[in-house]
């Protein structure tokens, strides 16, 4: 499929100026929807009155023609301007910064707080109560601080921090850990839960935790759990933002609130969607356990930034530093954490 946009300068083809402007606006309205742009070619065509830029946009060849003008220098500058405008909409990317040695015992989740990474370690079977699990502390440079900072858990997964306590999802309970010393201060049983997976905590201290096998989300207030949502297929990543709760369900991103009405934000991702992080007011970072990371816009656009399925490297419950634009990704069976810069 070939789309052509006619781009004209304001001081040419007076009789067709309105037509030219219509074409220009059509081009403008299309460009913001571009997620994947690679400029393949730009050259002076055989007819020296025209410049042509050929781009590759989401499997669609877009040919942009520049109208004839009486000023060839202006013509060329306008082409460069148009190409620069397209480049601004090029896809985002992840650049690897570092990777730890393979010394982390099945890292499932990472959480960033005050330049420290708290990494949940299953160290056993993901669904068994074996007492092998724990939490490690890493520096944001990838250096190991303490592989056994917290111990005595079963199969810990997602975590969240409120005040001076780290709360970790651990199969059928939420484990509270003192940030000062890594000691377990309490366990909050969640009746009916069997595979608690991710945790998020809102500004008031309300905990939301997903149960992926039970297809449910629980809410915990004053240490009292209650059912918040049910029949949410393979629910995993949860993220509280203000009065809204965002969550991942079988390759799709949803939003809800106290009314429990569901709004679908985006879909089309690998069904093992896992980690969910806010990039800014317009986008999220999403990981799928099978080995994919996505840039998801609030308008529903999805860009795959990373695909490690062939390498069989999992991308589990990641965390993100919005100031430094760095994502920290646990690799599960590869027993490491990788840092990527988002560009």
Q: Are strands 60-66 and 2-7 parallel, antiparallel or unpaired?
A: parallel
pLDDT-derived band at 15 (thresholds 50, 70, 90) equals: very low
Tell me: pLDDT of 16 over 90: no
Superfamily of the domain at 94-342: TolB, C-terminal domain (2.120.10.30)
pLDDT at 50: 38
Phi, psi (degrees; rounded to nearest 5) at 175: -100, 130
pLDDT score of 207? 98
pLDDT band at 24 (very low <50, low <70, confident <90, very high): very low
Q: What pLDDT does 304 receive? A: 97
Which of the two residues, 77 and 48, has the higher pLDDT score?
A: 77
Q: For residue 163, which phi and psi values (nearest 5 degrees)?
A: 55, -120
Stretch 280-306: mean pLDDT = 98
Q: What is the pLDDT of residues 99-149, one digit of tens each?
A: 999 999 999 999 999 999 999 999 999 999 999 999 999 999 999 999 999
The structural domains of the chain, with segments of one domain joined by +, span 2-87, 94-342
Q: CA 38, CA 253: separation in Å to the nearest integer? A: 28
On whether the CB atoms of residues 228 and 238 are closer than 8 A, the answer is: no
Mean pLDDT of the chain: 82
pTM: 0.76
8 A C-beta contact, residue 297 and residue 256: no
From CA 219, how far away is CA 330, in angstroms rounded? Answer: 26
pLDDT for position 33: 32
Q: Sort 303 into a burial class: Cβ within 10 Å, 0-12 / 13-18 / 19+.
A: middle
Most confident among 13-27, 43-57, 84-98, 195-209 (mean pLDDT)? 195-209
User: Tokens 């997964």 sit at which residue?
Assistant: 157
The model's confidence at residue 91, banded by pLDDT at 50, 70 and 90, is: confident
pLDDT in tens, 162-208: 999 999 999 999 999 999 999 999 999 999 999 999 999 999 999 99
50-66 burial, b at 16+ Cβ within 10 Å, e below that, comes to: ebbbebebeeeebebbb
């Amino acid at each position: 499929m070939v789309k052509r946009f006619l781009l004209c300068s304001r001081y040419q083809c007076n009789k067709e100026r309105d037509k030219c402007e219509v074409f220009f606006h059509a081009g403008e309205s299309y460009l913001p929807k571009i997620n994947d742009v690679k400029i393949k070619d730009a050259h002076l065509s055989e007819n020296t009155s025209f410049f042509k830029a050929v781009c590759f946009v989401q499997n669609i060849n877009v040919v942009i023609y520049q109208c004839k003008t009486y000023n060839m220098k202006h013509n060329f500058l306008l082409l460069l301007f148009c190409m620069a405008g397209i480049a601004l909409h090029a896809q985002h990317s992840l650049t690897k910064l570092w990777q730890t040695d393979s010394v982390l015992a099945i890292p499932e989740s990472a959480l960033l707080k005050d330049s420290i990474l708290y990494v949940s370690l299953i160290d056993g079977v993901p669904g068994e109560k074996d007492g092998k699990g724990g939490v490690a502390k890493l520096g944001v440079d990838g250096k190991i601080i303490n592989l056994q900072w917290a111990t005595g858990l079963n199969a810990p997964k997602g975590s969240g921090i409120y005040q001076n306590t780290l709360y970790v999802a651990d199969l059928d309970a939420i484990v509270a850990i003192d940030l000062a010393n890594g000691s377990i201060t309490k366990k909050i049983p969640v009746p009916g839960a069997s595979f608690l997976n991710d945790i998020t905590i809102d500004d008031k201290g309300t905990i939301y935790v997903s149960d992926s096998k039970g297809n449910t989300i629980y809410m915990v207030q004053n240490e009292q759990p209650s059912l918040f949502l049910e029949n949410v297929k393979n629910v995993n990543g949860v993220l509280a933002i203000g009065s809204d709760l965002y969550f991942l369900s079988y390759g799709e991103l949803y939003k809800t609130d106290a009314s429990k009405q569901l709004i679908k934000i985006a879909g089309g991702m690998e069904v093992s969607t896992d980690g969910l992080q806010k990039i800014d007011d317009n986008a999220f970072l999403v990981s799928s356990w099978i080995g994919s990371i996505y840039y998801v816009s609030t308008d529903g656009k999805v860009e795959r930034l990373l695909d490690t399925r062939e390498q069989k490297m999992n991308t589990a419950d990641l965390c993100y530093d919005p100031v430094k634009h760095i994502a920290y990704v646990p690799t599960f069976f590869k027993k490491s954490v990788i840092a990527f810069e988002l560009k």
